[in-house]
Structure 1
């Protein structure tokens, strides 16, 4: 049986290269992110992920300033904690995610459209599995690829969730799968059951968002992990911090589920 992965996301402020970048110091962002990662570790989370989530409008592919900033932040988080570390760059910059992950010693990347075609705020988003595979080969990287079979910020144009999951694994080489449903965590868990029935129990499938303290117990029973973002934050806005009390409460639900 695989270990349930409780992943806390650090939504970074607008980074250099973003249209809404306000001139904030990257070194200070890195210090803040490292402090928040320590909160997640103390709360019992298994992993932390860094994301340029506040860059707006968020591009599908990012430029060199954003990659450089994410590397600085990722390195600070890596030095501050022993948690598993993940990286997600832009809306779908899988190659940049691999490059940053390799540079900072991260264990995984999240890629929202690894295979197929989706429609989102930036227009059509094409799968980037070739670019991800080429970057991994170029760097000699063993970083895991966690691919969204269904995600909430774009709509897949081809097939249903089990079909998309099968393509992400067979064609894209995904190591783990992620499912998110705007309609609720219950629907995501139902999708995960369908994916596992189609692909077998050998692939881990996580709920990628919309998880709350109320729904986490169901996710613990019906999925292999949960990626928690806004539910951990003190407030909205472009520079949200991890709330220690919320993190500890969610972490306690996970800890209570572990075998005694």
Structure 2
């Protein structure tokens, strides 16, 4: 069902890395500038050929490991509403570091189509501390809200090390079959770092009929190799001006990568 959200061919989902939100260490007091940049980047991504966008509170680092603050939820809801008003493609939410319940709430309130959950199933040692998956709670909350929101879950997420099962194929199967994720994301070790194409192939073999995305490190030079066994990718860093994650989205980079995606079988 997740595959049906985005259409045919290789899927390009662009990332909108929000500027710092209220309550975060680098919040500058200007919410209007956050909203304006989010709207602008959403438009650039759609016009450049992306089939979806995902909104992240990326500027709020260092991140909490549990529930985010109410002001973060409020600002994220406002930002996503601005993005939805600017595009007609599917919109997703990633509430960093791992607040799937708040992300789900924002998605329901704004009519968004999907969420990304960094640790949906299992336990990971991360930069911010120990993060435990809450698939039991997220899936029950989704059911109680009668929400048609797709859960795209990372498999052994970046910036983290597993505290249990390390077999990425088995984790992929359990995240889908036991934790009820609608799609899987395979990433490299850190933001902007290339995903290991072998890891993608292992996940594909483990869930041959599953929806699999690459979650980091895709660029013009490695896209053909890394995407061979994936349905598409979530791309952030390489779409920014000069390839720097904190810079604004670059229209030329978006169009160039989207053209490559469109040419792939």
- TM-score of the two chains, using structure 2 as the length reference: 0.90
1:234 to 2:254 alignment: no
1:45 to 2:61 alignment: no
CA distance in 2, matches of 1:236, 1:202: 33
Shift of 1:236: 7.8
CA distance in 2, matches of 1:142, 1:186: 29
CA distance in 2, matches of 1:150, 1:107: 23
Root mean square deviation of aligned Cα: 2.0
Shift of 1:20: 2.5
- Give the match for residue 18 of structure 1: 24
CA distance in 1, matches of 2:62, 2:106: 21
1:256 to 2:263 alignment: yes
Cα separation, partners in 2 of 1:51 and 1:109, compared to 1, 3 Å: same
1:104 to 2:110 alignment: yes
Shift of 1:132: 1.0
CA contact (8 A) 2:101 2:141 kept: yes
1:36 equivalent among 41, 47, 57: 41
CA contact (8 A) 1:49 1:87 kept: yes
- Give the match for residue 56 of structure 1: 61
1:70 to 2:76 alignment: yes
**Secondary structure, in 3 states, of the residue corresponding to 1:152?**
coil
Per-residue deviation, residues 210-248 of structure 1 (Å, max 9, x unmatched): 111111122342211111011111268885311111111
Shift of 1:146: 0.3
1:168 to 2:208 alignment: no
Shift of 1:23: 1.3
- Give the match for residue 158 of structure 2: 152
CA distance in 2, matches of 1:66, 1:152: 23
**Secondary structure, in 3 states, of the residue corresponding to 1:82?**
coil
Which is further off, 213-222 or 87-96? 213-222
2:189 equivalent among 152, 165, 182: 182
Shift of 1:11: 0.5
Per-residue deviation, residues 165-202 of structure 1 (Å, max 9, x unmatched): 11211221100001112396462x21122122223x21
Shift of 1:151: 1.9
CA contact (8 A) 2:237 2:245 kept: no
CA contact (8 A) 2:100 2:138 kept: yes
1:4 equivalent among 2, 10, 14: 10
Unaligned runs of 5+ in 2: none
- Give the match for residue 205 of structure 2: 197
CA distance in 2, matches of 1:81, 1:11: 16
CA contact (8 A) 1:14 1:238 kept: no
Alignment coverage as a number of residue pairs? 255
- Give the match for residue 86 of structure 1: 92
Per-residue deviation, residues 39-58 of structure 1 (Å, max 9, x unmatched): 11111111100000111211
